[in-house]
Each structure stands twice: as structure tokens, then as C-alpha cells.
Amino acid sequence: MVRLFGLAFDEFEEAMRGVSGRFIPLKKSTDNWCMQYVVLADIEVMLGFNGAGAVYEGACRPENFGLFFPLSRGVDVAMNGQPMGNATLAWLASHRSFYCYHSTAMRWVGISVGRDTVARWLNDPSLDFQPDPGDHLIGQTRASLVAGLGDLVCRMFEVGDVDPNALDDMPARRELYEQLASGVCEAVQAVAPLPASALGRPRLARREIIRRALARLDVSTSEALRVSDLCQAAGVSNRTLQTAFLEHFGLSPHRFLMLRRMRAIHQALQSAGPSDTVAQICGRFGVWDFGRFSSAYRRIYGEFPSRVLSQGRPKAAA
């Protein structure tokens, strides 16, 4: 078992198992980000605590699928625009983008399952495992199955707190592996897809609108884009883009652009060269009002850009 406490959001991001992506913080962290995980053959189990509201843009790695569900109550959570309640699971296909929004700090479970194991489920006629391996499945399942998986994961880490060597023996690891595999398979089999949103009838599926808009962002990381650029890339009106972004991210396109640009500047500050200044770095991203930007940055990241820049540089030799 691995336990990582007191993390910054980007350290937490690097510690995640079975996925690759990035967090876009929505506000200043109110708690430390914490990650616990266990690797059991081709199943990796995460118990995470996100210390602030954020949007996660990512994808499962090519070698695995993923299961996600929140444990915290009273937090708005949406996966690809679908609200996630007490009995909702997200089964995430290998190597396909997904977007998870949560309004504030939250605790969650993530389980990655290797492609070979999923292939066995799909090829076993007795299981009748039917999810499309090329697409995500987000929907309602039986509340008892979600609760059972959550209890199993939490109990696993609680036992590890009492006895750090509890999973050293191979028979114990195999038994836990089988319990997890069985629980995941049964819960996913029982998922009923959530109905599509009834808010309007856009010409394009909202997922395709988001894909096109984010693709435009990805090829223009240092360009000061406007909402109109995203509308043009997606081929939709401002109103339709607004609806799609609010549904997927809980944010307007303008707010999303601002936060994503701020995250890009944060990364640039951390990796800046010896002669780089805050003004130069911000200027590359189209920011000219450094005072206003610094205040907004501090509200999200908890410190001024100048301090992050100085922390990222190597110390001068004595």
C-alpha cells in the first residue's frame, strides 16, 4: 500500500494510477490532496481526496479500463456532463478522453482494470458482460453494489493502517483481487445508462462539441483564444457552446478558458528559465494586466505568481 498525504494538486495528479491527465483547479484548496493506492496484479485501487473543486481532463491509459465513483455526499459531481449520485458509476473505456467536474473537495474511489481481465469478462458467455469496450458507460446501478465496493476499498486501507503487512502474503492478495474483480464486474453489468439531457436539441452531440472545442485549445496552448474561437472550432453558436460547457464542466466557456490558461501559466512558472519574468511568461499567454492576474491567480493557487516562479528555480550555489 502506498499513502501520500499533504500533496499539492499537481503532485496528486502525478500520483494517480491508470490515467493520464490534468486538474484545472476552480478555487483555492481548502484541504490537502491525499492519495492512497494498492496494486494487485492488473487491478489498481485508488482512494483519493481532492482538496478543492476542480475539473479533471484525462483518459485511461491504453493498457487498462477504469471505474470511478464519488464517496462524498453533498458535492456536485459530473462525468462527461452526467451528474453522479449515490448509485452512479462511471466505467471508462481505455484511451478515451473523459472530463470530471466536482464543485468542492471530495473523496472518491478509482479502480483501474487491465485490458486482459476485461477481455476475459467480454469473452465469458456465462458473465454476459455487455459494455461497449470502445466507449464510456455512465449510469445508475444498484446502490448496494456501489456501497459494497466502497466499503471493500475503505476496509482494505483501514486494515492496512492496523497491519501494514496484511497484504504481504500472496493468498491474501489473490483473495482481495478476486473480491475486487467480482465486485467491479457485477456493478458494471448492472449499470443502466443515464438519459440524455433534455436541455435543447443541438445539431451536434454535446460530447462532440466539447471534443472540438478542447482540440482547438490543445493546439493553441500559448495563444490567447476567445470564446468565439471555440464556437468557430465546434461549429456552434455561443449559446450552444455555453450550454455544453455548463453541462460538462459546471463552468461557462469564458471561465473555463480563464482557468485553463491560468493552469498553463502555473506550469510555465514552475518550469521557467533563470531569466524568465512573470510579465514575460504571462505575456506569452496574452495576459497584460499582471496586477489583476496575480490577484486572480492567488485566489486559486494560494500564492502570487512571483513566489511560484522563485520556488521553481534552482538555488544559487553558496
Residue 317, in any domain of the structure: no
Range(s) of the domain holding residue 13: 2-193
Question: Would you state the cell numbers that stand for residue 155, as one nine-digit string?
Answer: 476496509
Residue 201, in any domain of the structure: no
Local confidence pLDDT in tens for the 318 residues of the chain: 899 999 999 999 999 999 999 999 999 998 999 999 999 999 999 999 999 999 999 999 999 999 999 999 989 999 998 999 889 999 999 999 999 999 999 999 999 999 999 999 999 988 888 888 899 999 999 999 999 999 999 999 998 888 888 788 889 899 999 999 999 999 999 998 776 554 455 456 888 899 899 889 887 766 678 899 999 999 999 999 999 999 888 899 999 999 999 999 999 999 888 888 999 998 988 888 888 999 999 999 999 999 999 886 555 443
Give which of 241, 308, 311 is closest to 278, Cα–Cα. 308
Number of domains comprising the chain: 2
Residues in the chain: 318
Residue 199, in any domain of the structure: no
The full DSSP string for 134-152 is TS-EEEE--HHHHHHHHHH
Q: Show the DSSP H helices in 250-289 as ranges.
A: 253-270, 278-284
Say whether both 16 and 115 belong to one domain: yes
pTM of the model: 0.87
- 101 CB contacts (<8 Å, ≥6 apart)? 54, 55, 76, 77, 78, 248, 249, 250, 251
Residue 198, in any domain of the structure: no
Can you give the CATH number for the domain in which 235 is found?
1.10.10.60
